[in-house]
Structures are given as structure tokens and as C-alpha cells.
Amino acid sequence: MARDILVFYGSYRRDRQGIKLARWIVEALQARGNNAELIDAKIVDLPILDRRFSDYKPGEAPPAMAELAERIAAADGFVFVTGEYNGGLQPGLKNLTDHFLEQYYWRPAAIASYSAGPFAGIKAATAWRGTLAVLGMIVTSTSLSLARIGGAFDADGKPAGEDGGRLEKAFPRFADDLAWWIDAASGQRERQAPPF
């Protein structure tokens, strides 16, 4: 069964390293038969949050926001790829995410974190768990974390070195957990209408 999965990435930095991880996750999910798509905050380029999509009257939201709202609502699940900024949430990804709410409801989300150093963005991943739950998502228990991202991919975007090897080894469980929850949530939505 092909699952529709959106992979969100939010760095606006000039020399973005996490984009390598986000692109690799999209390719790895596609290799497993999923329809995976990268949602890059820098390309979508929504403004700093003033009004959420739901604050607009039908047909009045900016086109990029309306298009993304439809894509989110149609997705089966999500992956949030986050770097760690000063021990916390990545602002570009948070801004992108906060423009929407009910579009996420009753769908699972998995978290992939990274950092330039040895701690692999674990603080950011921990902060995202609560944020995604408040947005109505089921957060999977299996996260994916990548340390020393600067050396974890080769020139072709393939995992390299010890850290890249750990990424490849951890990915199947990460993807299997997300797939299980996507199937469970999808089946429940088919059996019973959401409570609100």
C-alpha cells in the first residue's frame, strides 16, 4: 500500500546541512513504496505567522498556504526533520507548522533530528514531541537522530561514514513504526468519524 507522507524541513540558513537528511528520508520512503514529498519551508516561504489558514474565510488565504493546507489534509502521515537551534525548536520549521492545525488531526508524525555535534538534535526532538501532539498528531515512539551531519553524507547525498551507517541501520525501524501508525490511524478513520 502506497502511503502519502509529507516530510517537513525548516532551515533557512545559507549552508543548510539538514536538507541532505530531509532529501535522503524522502528517497528512502519512496524506495519502500510510499508517495513521499519534501515540504521545504524556505521554498514554501510563508510569512512569519500572523493568521493561520483557518483564520481566513474560504478562498481568501494566500495561494501557497491554501495549496499546502490541501496537501497536509490529504496526507496519511508526516516526518518532521529538525535541527537544534540553541537547544530548542528550529524557528523556520515551527513557523511553517503553526500556519495549520486541523489539517494534521488524527495522523501520525515521526521526528528526525540532527546536529553538527554529537548530540544529534535530541533536545529539539524532545520539544517537537509535545508540539506535534498539541497539533493533534500521533507522535511515533521511534525517532531518528543523526550526529555530526556535516560528514554523514557523501557528495551524492548518500549516507557515509560511521554516522551515515548508523542512520541507515536505524531507518527501517523508524519507517516501520510510522507505517504501522499510518495504517492504524487510516483504518480507524475509515471505521469511525473523528470525534471533533
Write out pLDDT tens, residues 51-108. Answer: 999 999 999 999 999 999 999 999 999 999 999 888 888 999 999 999 999 999 999 9
pLDDT of residue 10: 95
Query: Which uninterrupted H or E stretch holds 166?
Result: helix 161-191
Compute CA distances 137 → 35, 98, 130, 134, whole Å. Answer: 19, 13, 10, 7
Strands 137-139, 77-83: pairing kind: unpaired
Give the chain's domain count. Answer: 1
Q: Is residue 187 part of a domain?
A: yes
- Its pTM stands at 0.96
157 half-sphere exposure, CB direction, 13 A CA radius: 11
Q: Is residue 26 part of a domain?
A: yes
* Domain CATH for 151: 3.40.50.360
Write out pLDDT tens, residues 114-163. Answer: 999 899 999 999 999 999 999 999 999 999 999 999 999 999 999 999 99
Write out pLDDT tens, residues 14-49. Answer: 999 999 999 999 999 999 999 999 999 999 999 999
Q: Is residue 90 part of a domain?
A: yes
Q: Is residue 142 part of a domain?
A: yes
Query: Which uninterrupted H or E stretch holds 74?
Result: helix 63-74
Over residues 169-181, mean pLDDT: 98
pLDDT higher than 90, residue 183 = yes
141: domain range?
4-191
Q: Is residue 29 part of a domain?
A: yes
> Which segments within the chain are labelled E, that is strand?
4-9, 35-40, 77-83, 107-114, 137-139, 144-146
Q: Is residue 196 part of a domain?
A: no
Q: Rounded to whole angstroms, how far apart are CA atoms 148 and 125? A: 16
Distance of CA 154 to the CA centre of its chain: 23
pLDDT of residue 97: 97
